[in-house]
Structure 1
Amino acid sequence: MALQGLHTAASQTPAKGGRKVDGGLVYAIGDVHGCYDQMRGLLARIMADVAERGAGRRPIVIFCGDYVDRGPRSFEVLDALCWLQRRADFELHLLKGNHEQALLDFLTTPEDGDEWLEFGGLTTLASYGVEPPRAAAGPQDYQRARDELLDNMPAAHLRLLDQLELMVSLGDYAFVHAGIRPNCSLDRQVEDDLLWIRSDFLDATGPHEKVIVHGHSWSGENPDIQAHRIGIDTGAYQTGVLTALRLEDGQVEPIQFRTGAGAC
């Protein structure tokens, strides 16, 4: 599928000694995965940071996808994102993750939903008060669960899921969920790679067209900051740590909110 949903801002040549975000104040947030308390705590820290550093700038907040599944409060996470969309004091971008795509696929073809249920969808159904399908009952029970989910899902949640972006490009950075296909220009990337790619991207030595800020893959509670890519998924649903990245011209700094491990 060809790339759609690309938001591009005017790029400038990197200043000597650092990458640029066109003078902006940018916060990129890693995979939330139903961890509502961490998301709320991290947003409070970001707003305090804006108050200290904003200097009249309207901040840009970019969520890098995977809002649902695994953690227990997917409903509340999506509800909070709908509320954030109504705020005018910052520019908000919501990227699509592979888990949002899996949820949308379940809504379309519920009888093929086994894989989604196995990698986190059961907690999302529970957050909407839906009894999970029983495999032994056949495809009709998957359809029943899908229908209950649609009945319990506010229209605003579905609209948000349908309008998620695939990539945001700003200055010397591009923001995606999983990564990009190396040696392929940003405007020729395909959706499947942006949502699902792992080793082909993670093992690439770069450089890329821009520095890629991404989620999707994690190995611990610290972001993976490299010259050509920055991974900001820190496994909040297991580590209790949700990570954001503050980007300014020539500056990169993580901001985190943590609870106890497994306390999502």
Structure 2
Amino acid sequence: MVGALWWAWPAATVGGFFLLTVWHWGSADAPAGPRPAAWLWLAHSCLRGLLLFAVPLWGWPTQTAGVVNGLLAFTGAPTVPTATLATAATALGAVVVAGHLALWARWAYRRQWARLCTELGEVVVLLLLLLALPPQLSVAVYFIFWHSLQHVLRLTGWLGYAPAPGQPRPAADLMPRLAFFLRRAAPLLLLSCAALLVLGRLLAPHLHSGAAWFSLALVVASIVTLPHALLVTLVMDAPRWRAAPGAGSQRWLGPRLQKQKA
């Protein structure tokens, strides 16, 4: 179905793919710990996803424009003028900065210091990554060592992983979790790699530049991202949609009310 969309409406599909990626990457970075109100989770997810697009647009405008327009040209869609992308970078940057400041101010007001410190640390790391490396490389590093790793560690619980006796620290449990996942994912992973090699072999005569290969990778990624994002959003993240609107306030006020009653 996604392949048909690329064929029929390439420009709209590029926009839809970017929006889906904003949501999926952002929601995967939801803060750990007690589940916040659903609207806070939605706000944080959108802001984190937009951050991952706004920073390369601002820090690497020429290279990011090359990625976007390379994908549009690869699919036969009109390219976007540089001035339009510059305006988009400014608008996205303003939304991301204002939104994050409001979110952090709320956490500080609620005295959720642990969550605030974790969030600040993550944003600093992402800013350094996205500004230090060109878009293609920073996206690859983020996807492999941040986004995918989070999904792998989360899926191990769904697949029945149980920590060894003694409950090792999370850092010590990392390699056993990865080994557990790889053993179960190996057959499908090998099949996927073989399919990609065959596809690359068939299309190699038509791909004359690195930009074309990267655009092909994005198209392939979009085809598998849609069902994956739907699974994560509608199944794995289903409890987040049911979070009580006042849950965050109740957690903050609860201990204080108990002290007053005592």
Fold agreement, TM-score > 0.5? no
Structure with higher Rg: it is: 2
TM-score, normalisation: structure 1: 0.26
In proportion to residue count, which structure has more helix? 2
In proportion to residue count, which structure has more strand? 1
TM-score, normalisation: structure 2: 0.26
